[in-house]
Structure 1
Amino acid sequence: MKYILKKISTLIITLFLVTIFTFTAFQVIPGDSVSSTLGMDASPEAIQALRHERGLDDPLVIRYGRWLGGVLKGDFGESTQYNMPVWNLLSTRLTVTIWLAAISIVLIFLFSFPIGILSAKKEDGFFDRLMVFLTQTFMAIPPFFLGMILTLVFGVCLKWFIPGNYVSFQEDKGKFFAYLIYPAIAMAIPKIAMTVKFLRSSIRRQMHFEYVRTAKSKGNSKRGILVKHVLKNACIPVITFLGMIIADVLAGSIIIEQVFNLPGMGRLLVVAIANRDYAVVQAVVLYIATIVVVINLLVDILYRVIDPRISKEGGAR
């Protein structure tokens, strides 16, 4: 329990520091939402009046305290571009981003573990060499480029979907998921390649340990040793790696959403930055940071559950 409380305390401190950095970073750079709203030709009087109305002429500490107090109550402020509460704006985009990430994560788990285990079993065989080639290739290809290839092949050539023709969840659930599968595949393929390589190496490393030779000498089959002993030990470091992969997928859909014209958090962030809608930018950045630190917390806890030998002081290593 002390270990979990310590990790939760670290999470809270980390998020608090993120709020400070996120807020101050967008307050000290030149320009603000007033110039985007009124334009370059606005009079100094009009600019000053709108700055006062929005509280932008208050000291930085007061503005931060006001913003943080609102965040703790679920109020992320008002979008100056859309003239609506930021949370209402985020909630309409979260459905797309969360489902996109969820489908990608399912694909990663569905393919990486069977392929990684099979590749480790067929050491130096044709399948293993083929997987080594494919994993090295797909690890080197960025998701946005894969997205462009999928759009060209399945959208333009085969016409399985209409590029840029997004269908909302409320409008048609089937078409919504059918459209999301292509960007999800583009996000998942490089992560699958990374996970397969990592899992394959972890299993191979375990197969050379003394406990495996002891199990073989007792007449256990290679399959039995793999299932009962090797996989559990091999998956311990893989959990940490998968935690990073999941956090990356949940937080890293920005470019893919641009490629496939998805109205998710990524596109919202890009548009908000362009229009200096800092309330929206701060909320999205805080969302990304929260996803990363929460996933790391869950990974640390799961790591300790699987391997109780992890020191209470040091956590997962």
Structure 2
Amino acid sequence: MTADAPIAVIGTGVIGAGWAALFLARGRDVMAFDPAPAAEQALRSAVGEAWPTLIRLGLADGASTDRLRFTSSAAEAVADAVFVQESGPERVELKQRLFAELDEAAPASTPIASSSSGLMPSQLQAMCGRHPERVLVGHPFNPAYLIPLVEVVPGKETDSRVVEVAMELYTAMGKRPVLVRHEVPGHVTNRLQAALWREAYSLVERGVATVADIDTAISYGPGLRWALLGPLVNQHLSGGDGGLAHILEHLGPPTQAWMDDLGEPQLTPRLAELLVRGVDDELAGIDQRRLVADRDALLVELLERKALRTALP
């Protein structure tokens, strides 16, 4: 992949703007397009807000916000692009028009990656009449310029070389790409989150714990460890010298009993009201802008410190 060729960012809302900021920070030219009114101004403002954090994390040689160009059409943005990152709204009819245009205008060898969390790559490939083999999902987590994870999800027709290119590019951008080997709704990480949300919702619905209690239980308990190591390695470490094998042998039966007892809540209006009210109660008197700022500042510190530790996988 040519290092001096531009990367196209299509759709410059919260996720697209995060991608644009990251690509610029890694010393790339970015061609961006979004049809929304005042989209260019909003994009440049978002990149400017992210830039101090990216400076702290370390800019690549030649990185500059001056390397951002906002184009008049999606076709113009992708015409010379070496990679396309699409982050448009999650509406099938819009995606159909957009992917047809991208497929027509982008060079045949240019991968087209979608940030979609809800659509699977084979659905997106079906929208491309010319080169469906260069389409895949590259699903980030917000803020896209800060959280390293990106899920790379090939579709039924995705060429293996396209997967390699995407994995290599994301790695070069400082991401930690995870290859999702089979298409499933929600990919991997959102499914893991949904499993936790499901039980959290159930516990609130049953009156076992409040919203605040659940947030405290995770953020001051296993969440602290999960930020450093994944749930399975953490479980392995809990087994001492015997590791995961010991845990599964001795705690397997009660663990199975807990899993069998997990709730199956339905997001009824009543449950939604309980959850929203619980969050409102938890955050009463808290400035949410400062909360987000503190969260992101601590994320930066954590990422900096994790980068110094050589034994973490």
TM-score, normalised relative to structure 2? 0.28
Higher relative contact order (CA 8 A, sep 6+): 1
Please say which structure displays the higher CA radius of gyration.
1
